[in-house]
Amino acid sequence: MDTSVFPGQAEYAFELVGVLAFALSGAMVAVRRDFDVVGIAVLSGLTALGGGVIRDVLIGATPPYVFGHLDLLAVPVVATVVAVFFHPLLEAGGRAILWFDAAGLAVFCVNGTLIAEAAGLDAMAAALLGITTAVGGGLLRDVVAREVPLLVRKDSEIYAIPAAVGAVAVGLLAAEDIYEPWMGIAAVLLVFAIRMAALTWGWNAPGAYHRRPAPSA
C-alpha cells in the first residue's frame, strides 16, 4: 500500500517543508532558552524527527525511516545553522514559520496514519499513531526544554485537535477500504485550514469544567 498522500515529488516537498518548520521551531525554542549549539541541534532534531521516530519504533519499523534518509537527517543541521546566525530574522518571521508548521502538522498526521495502517493497525490505533507523528516531536522539544508543553496548554491554539480530525477521518476511510488519494489531500487541507483558523481567531481548547484558574506553577 502506498502511504503517500501526494504524488511522489509533491509528497517529498511537503515532508521537507514540514520537517524544516518543525526543526526551526525546535531551534528557536533552544535559542530563546539560551542553549549552546549542541542544545540547538538536539532540540531541532527531536522536534523535527521525534514524532516519526516514535511512530516507527511503535510499529516495529526499525531502524526508523529517517535513519535511512540523510537528506532528512540534515534538516536539523541546516536549521541549527540558520537559527545560530539568523535568529532575529526567524523571530520576525515567526508567523510564517507557524504556517509551514501547520503544513507539516497536516501532512504528518495523515501520512503517519496511512503508514501505521499499512503496518497492520486498526483505524483508531493508526489514527493515534498519526497524531503521535504530528505532535510527538513538539512534546519532546518542550520536555527537554523544560517548558509546559504547548500541546497541553489552555492558552495555546488547538494543535492536536485538527490533527486528530484528519487522522481519524483517514484512519476510518482506509480501514473501510474506500480511501482514495484525493481524500488524503482533502484531509491535509482540512487539518491545515482548521489549524490556520485556530491561529487566526485564537481558538483554544477548554480545560476541566468550572475549574477556577490554578495558581501559576
Contact positions vs its own copies (CB under 8 A): 30-40, 42-43, 53, 57-60, 62-64, 67-68, 70, 73, 83-85, 87, 119-122, 124-125, 128-129, 139, 143-144, 146, 148-149, 151-154, 156, 158-161, 204-209, 211, 213-214, 217
Q: Which is nearer to its own copies, 22 or 159 (CB)?
A: 159
**CA trace torsion 169, 173, 179, 182 (10° rounding):** -20
Decide if 84 contacts 24 (C-beta within 8 A): no
Place of cell 542553549: 35
Shortest reach from residue 184's CB to its own copies, in Å: 22
Nearest-approach distance from CB 4 to its own copies, in angstroms? 21
Beta carbon nearer to its own copies, 6 or 45: 45
Residues 6+ apart with CB under 8 A from 198: 157, 158, 159, 162
- Here the cell at position 172 is 476510518
CA–CA separation, 24 and 41 (whole Å): 10
Give 20 or 158: the residue with its C-beta nearer to its own copies: 158
Query: Measured from the CB of residue 186, what is the shortest distance to its own copies in angstroms?
Result: 23
Instruction: Closer to its own copies by CB, 13 or 89: give it.
Output: 89
| Cβ nearer to its own copies, comparing 124 with 189 | 124
The conformational region for residue 146 under phi > 0 = left, psi -120 to 50 = alpha, else beta, is: left
In the complex, what is the shortest distance from the CB of residue 59 to its own copies, in angstroms, rounded to a whole number?
A: 5
CB of 118 to its own copies, least distance (A): 12
Cα–Cα distance between 117 and 12 in angstroms, integer? 20
CA distance 214 to 140: 24
